[in-house]
Amino acid sequence: MKFTQVVNVYPSLPEPVRFLEKLSRNLWWSWQRDAVDLFRRIDPVLWRETNGNPVAMLCRIPASRFLELCGDASFLAHMKRVEAMFAEQVEADLPEIGEPFGKDGVIAYFSMEFGIHESLPLFAGGLGILAGDHLKSASDLHLPLVGVGLFYQYGYFHQYLDHEGYQQEGYPETDVFSLPMSRVLDPSGNEVIVSIDGPIGQIHAGIWQLQIGRIPLYLLDTNINVNPPEFRTITANLYSGEMHTRLTQEILLGIGGMRALRKLGYYPTVCHINEGHSAFAGIERIYLLMNRFGIDAETAMEVAVRSSVFTTHTPVAAGHDEFPSSAVEGYLKPMEGRIGLSVSEMLSWGQPPNHGMDKPFSMFILGKRMAMYCNGVSRLHGGVARNMWAHLWPELPEAEVPIKHVTNGVHVPTWIAPEFSLLFERYIGPDWEMNFRDPQAARRFDEFFEEELWRLHEINRARLIRMCRYKLLEQYRRRQSSITFLQNAESVLDQGILTIAFARRFASYKRAYLILEDMERLEAMITNKDRPVQFIFAGKAHPKDREGKDLIKRLVAFARQPHLRHRIVFLEDYDIQIARYLVQGADVWLNTPRRPFEACGTSGMKAALNGVLNASILDGWWVEGYSPDLGWMIGDGFEYPDPGYQDKVDSQSLYNILENEIIPCFYERGENGLPSRWIGMMKRSMKLVLNHFSSNRMVTEYEQQFYVPAAYQAIRLLLNDGEEVRFLHERRKRLMRLWQDVVVQKPITDPIVQYRLGDHLRVTVDVHLGELLPEEVDVELYIDSASPGKMDGFPQIVVMYDWEKIEQGTYRYRCVQTFDVPGRFSYTVRVMPKGDDLLRYLPGLISWAVCC
């Protein structure tokens, strides 16, 4: 075989412009308007050809152009301005971080995908975009956080349509040479390698490092020479469809990712598991704590769980990964010797309680088992998740299932149109995105001139339409379409008419077909001479989703009709770049999921941020964001058991809203020619996102609700050689052993069934605790509404502090509760462990009053 060796040769930039190379290697530039403009002005055509990738572009710039830039005073001044911003926001020393993180404390953020920029194919959809925005806000907020993920040689699939409009998939190899990544090396210059053991042998992974502002992101990659060929492809594709490869990826992400952090000198104070894919990190963290603090596995687990956060994004049980226990067993077997616990015990962490070892291994259950802090990603989704997983706590009321919510947010500098960013800077100040909650900033926002705001929006719409024409030309040329198609692409869409965007995964629950339910009404809207409407669609179907692919084909066929094709387009290969144009330039953002299957829906937030009005089913974030003065609600908010009937109700509502509300509102013009009512809705939409749905707000909530309490837990539990955590572990074992003896007798009350406001309910109950002591439990009066539906402020839980011992192991509790609202109520008494959420919500440790 002929010997060949591949080497990388990067450009050598002259000293006056050498900062460009440093800037290109930190993705901070991607959310800085001035930095993006700096790269674009070097060569606008090449910037577009390289998909806005400065590393790739700089490699193609001739040396003569760099010399020209060295003599361009305007360019150098621009670069110096960006360099000063970079020095301040990325490189400047920060004040010493106080408790609970201190100098070396860090939050480890694990995610299967990260959507940071279109040039980095490390994401498939909303989960990855959310993770990318999380890292960016962590950098902006100076949070001590590191990201951990996998590097995919072929990433997620690229979509293209054949001549019939049927989706095809391509998997082009990622050009690592053109990415701002570097291999992590040890002090001797050798690649840092981490390894995991499994039933197929030892698997090794190298580590790439990306910089997201101040935040390092480490990506594990099995495509290294020390692996045999079959192992090198483990991280080839995101979300491998083959079960064993998918399991190995998740083992590598969790266990391998935690080992990588240890090799790099990190000992996470807090671990954040972003979706169940990375839940194995908790198991390796147990070993990390054992090794560092000299504690046993069970004690280490008490610390690990109390200082970990688990975020679930999936509102459908079938969407959570499950693996055969026999497949997982082979990867857990090597952990027996490391942490001293049996495989069967570790398997039980991913299985429902009391369900036998042959049950599938659930990554959600493992994630929840490994983290005391657990949340959904919107208020509605938190409730959906509690309902979905209530069976894990069979005796606990659904409302108390220990899953909270932190509503997602979007990274404002990444997603806001440059024109609006400049507008806000002029009216509010240079740090407007960090200070928007200041009342003075909100007041200045209201001072925006209507005409100025509307003209900027029209600029964004025009830019969107130019992008659509460019993309369609690319699509038709690749398919070698006729000259007629090419000519049509050059004039498709109209810059002055109502533009509605629908862009998301073509999964069945997203219901892209809803707009096609009544073709006659749809055609009438599109072809109306006085008040026409145009639609832009984009999105991918899963490669194995035939229904989704058929829907795309149906939509494309509809759009190709001669009398409609200038008003409907489908854009192939939906990615961050296309999304940015759409959320900045459309007039209406259409969203038609089957409630309650939209966990959050951050694309609608990005649209609203740019004054694009939402028309959506009342699902996900829209439950919290909707108001009739800033958008539209499709449907009646009810969930019907018959999907066909639900579709009919929602589609009719959609058509009615379009015909009777959206279209008239858009075309309603005042004497100044402006749609004043529409502009007012735009302003309110923008303020809504800036005030309530930014990722800075989201990350701050994670910090305050989870990260800081979790870090304090870790510090407190490990004081005095882990004295308190050992106490907690012994207490857990004691509760598990003795709880079977707890019995709550029937409560005794006054013989009254009719009360008046202000009357007192007096309750006495005898509780047998056996060997447990009153100090170890909470005896609670539980009052709930007995009327249909939910009632604000209920259930009410009142701890019964007044007790006396009546015989060995049995205690009499009393309390008095005042009725302060009218209604129909039920009440009972229960006993739960006293302590934090981990103890309080241990499955099986709850006893309710019995009838006799």
DSSP for 785-801 reads: E-SSS--TT-SEEEE--
Phi and psi torsions of 839, nearest 5°: -75, -45
- C-alpha distances out from residue 209 to 92, 115, 191, 373, 387, Å: 20, 15, 12, 28, 39
Average pLDDT for residues 640-661, to the nearest whole number?
94
Tell whether the model's pLDDT for residue 440 goes beyond 90: no
What is the predicted pLDDT for the residue at 637? 85
Average pLDDT for residues 332-354, to the nearest whole number?
91
Strands (E) located in 332-471: 361-362, 373-376, 404-405
Phi-psi label, residue 279: left if phi above 0, alpha if psi -120 to 50, beta otherwise = alpha
Q: How confident is the model at residue 354 (pLDDT cuts 50, 70, 90)?
A: confident
> If you search the block for the tokens 């008040």, which residue do you land on?
531
- Which CATH code of 3.40.1360.10, 3.30.70.1400, 3.40.50.2000, 3.30.413.10 fits the domain covering 107-372? 3.40.50.2000
Q: Which helix (H) or strand (E) holds 139?
A: helix 126-140
What is the predicted pLDDT for the residue at 157? 92
Does residue 465 contact residue 471 with C-beta atoms inside 8 Å? no
Tell whether the model's pLDDT for residue 433 goes beyond 90: no
Tell whether the model's pLDDT for residue 322 goes beyond 90: yes
Least confident of 493-497, 632-636, 744-748, 817-821: 817-821
Does residue 831 contact residue 803 with C-beta atoms inside 8 Å? no
Pull the structure tokens for residue 523: 């055609």
Does residue 606 contact residue 583 with C-beta atoms inside 8 Å? yes
What is the predicted pLDDT for the residue at 785? 86
Query: What percentage of the chain has pLDDT greater than the value 70?
Result: 99
Tell whether the model's pLDDT for residue 318 goes beyond 80: no
As a whole number of angstroms, the distance between CA 357 and CA 631 comes to 50
Highest mean pLDDT among 386-390, 422-426, 824-828: 386-390
List, in order, residues 6 or more apart from 628 with CB less than 8 Å away: none
- C-alpha distances out from residue 5 to 2, 8, 139, 178, Å: 10, 10, 38, 18
Residue extents of the structural domains in the chain:
15-91, 107-372, 441-692, 740-848
Report which residue type is found at 125. Answer: G
- Give the CATH architecture of domain 740-848: Sandwich (2.60)
Q: How confident is the model at residue 12 (pLDDT cuts 50, 70, 90)?
A: confident
Cis preceding-peptide flag for 596 (omega within 30 of 0):
yes
Q: How many residues does the chain have?
A: 852
Expressed in angstroms, the distance from the first to the final Cα of the chain is 85
The whole-angstrom distance between residue 5's C-alpha and the CA centroid of its chain comes to: 41
* Cα angle: 773, vertex 778, 782; to 5 degrees: 145
Which of the two residues, 2 and 584, has the higher pLDDT score?
A: 584
Q: Which helix (H) or strand (E) holds 538?
A: strand 533-538
Following DSSP, what letter does each residue of 154-197 receive, concatenated?
SBSPEEEE-TTS-EEEE-PPP-GGGSS-EE-B-TTSPBPEEEEE
Average pLDDT for residues 36-56, to the nearest whole number?
95
Following DSSP, what letter does each residue of 673-732 receive, concatenated?
S--HHHHHHHHHHHHHHHHHSBHHHHHHHHIIIIIHHHHHHHHHHTHHHHHHHHHHHHHH
With the C-alpha atoms ordered 476, 481, 484, 487, is the resulting torsion angle positive or negative? Answer: positive
Average pLDDT for residues 658-678, to the nearest whole number?
95
pLDDT digits (tens, 9 = 90+) for 521-561: 999 999 999 999 999 999 999 999 999 999 999 999 999 99
Average pLDDT for residues 370-384, to the nearest whole number?
96
Tell whether the model's pLDDT for residue 331 goes beyond 80: yes
Tell whether the model's pLDDT for residue 445 goes beyond 80: no
Q: How confident is the model at residue 436 (pLDDT cuts 50, 70, 90)?
A: low
Mean pLDDT (the chain) is: 92
Report which residue type is found at 255. Answer: I
Does residue 541 contact residue 551 with C-beta atoms inside 8 Å? yes
Please determine whether the domains at 107-372 and 441-692 fall in the same fold group of CATH. yes
Average pLDDT for residues 386-410, to the nearest whole number?
94
Q: How confident is the model at residue 790 (pLDDT cuts 50, 70, 90)?
A: confident
Q: Provide the CATH number for the domain formed by 441-692 in this structure.
A: 3.40.50.2000
Tell whether the model's pLDDT for residue 739 goes beyond 70: yes
pTM: 0.95
List, in order, residues 6 or more apart from 188 with CB less than 8 Å away: none
Q: Which helix (H) or strand (E) holds 386?
A: helix 379-388
pLDDT digits (tens, 9 = 90+) for 98-149: 778 777 889 999 999 999 999 998 999 899 999 999 999 999 999 999 999 9
What is the predicted pLDDT for the residue at 355? 73
The number of helices, as runs of H, and strands, as runs of E, in the chain is: 33, 29
What is the predicted pLDDT for the residue at 417? 97
CA Rg value for the chain: 29
Query: What percentage of the chain has pLDDT greater than the value 90?
Result: 78
Tell whether the model's pLDDT for residue 240 goes beyond 90: no
Average pLDDT for residues 654-672, to the nearest whole number?
96
What is the predicted pLDDT for the residue at 1? 63
Pull the structure tokens for residue 749: 């009350």
Dihedral of CA atoms 712, 718, 723, 729 in degrees, nearest 10, equals 80
